[in-house]
Structure 1
């Protein structure tokens, strides 16, 4: 008798647990909404990508950043998404310089207790993103959940 492994089981074995952020909604220049919350230590984000849910048409820089409870914030991926319109449905990964890339490879990062945030760098953003990630704990008991 053969045993079949389901797609969800293969993803978890290869990439870790999956989680989806809530849609960002339009970003006000003064807000930095949390996408994910990390508790209990360090986790390895094995893959992070975004899907544009509402077109981004105004020139601006958007950054997905780690904001640990202790330590410095650091960009995971960043880039201008509106100078050349980014249509709804576009999948955003990263390039070799940690800049957003259409259909780019997923970003990876080690993040610590705190949050992963979406920063519009002081500019209002007219579109919206949903961010997805897979992760594994590096510290026993560490977790990552949607904020």
Structure 2
């Protein structure tokens, strides 16, 4: 039996385009992960994969820094290092207003509804000094010419 529709095709139909970006070794800094340009996009999912264990105290969050407007937290700060976060763990959040808490584990929830983003950057904000995370996003353009790419 032949397969006409591939897995990547299903993902694109359900979630949109896919992009990923590694943070590199976490440091006490803010790092741009993804850049939205050319208009608005709908962020349909986002999750992180811990590449290197986080083993020291690290208050961590993701934020969106628009080209015009006010920077907003996508997920509230959480210490991901005092109780080690092992390599291979997943990071996720639902995007619920007021309840956006980073979850950690072998299975995590992702966005319950898309988040509309204007032009700007999704940023990783870390206070720790070890560990590394690869973030994966899916998105669809809401305006002609809008796109999202790894920063």
TM-score (norm: length of structure 1): 0.89
Which SS does the other structure have where 1:65 is aligned? strand
Which SS does the other structure have where 2:49 is aligned? strand
Judge conservation of contact 1:60–1:82 (CA < 8 Å) in 2. yes
Alignment RMSD, CA only? 1.6
- What are the Cα deviations for residues 69-101 of structure 1, in whole angstroms up to 9, with x where unaligned? 001111112322112110001011125521111
Please give the alpha-carbon distance, in whole angstroms, between the structure 2 residues aligned to 1:7 and 1:48: 18
Judge conservation of contact 2:60–2:79 (CA < 8 Å) in 1. yes
Determine if the alignment matches structure 1 residue 19 to structure 2 residue 25. Answer: no
1:87–1:3: structure 2 CA closer, same or farther, 3 Å change rule? Answer: closer
Deviation at 1:143, TM superposition (A): 0.2
TM-score (norm: length of structure 2): 0.87
Contiguous gaps of at least 5 residues in structure 1: none
Determine if the alignment matches structure 1 residue 44 to structure 2 residue 50. Answer: no
Moved more, 103-112 or 70-79: 103-112
Determine the structure 1 residue equivalent to 2:137. 133
Please give the alpha-carbon distance, in whole angstroms, between the structure 1 residues aligned to 2:73 and 2:108: 17
Judge conservation of contact 2:57–2:128 (CA < 8 Å) in 1. no
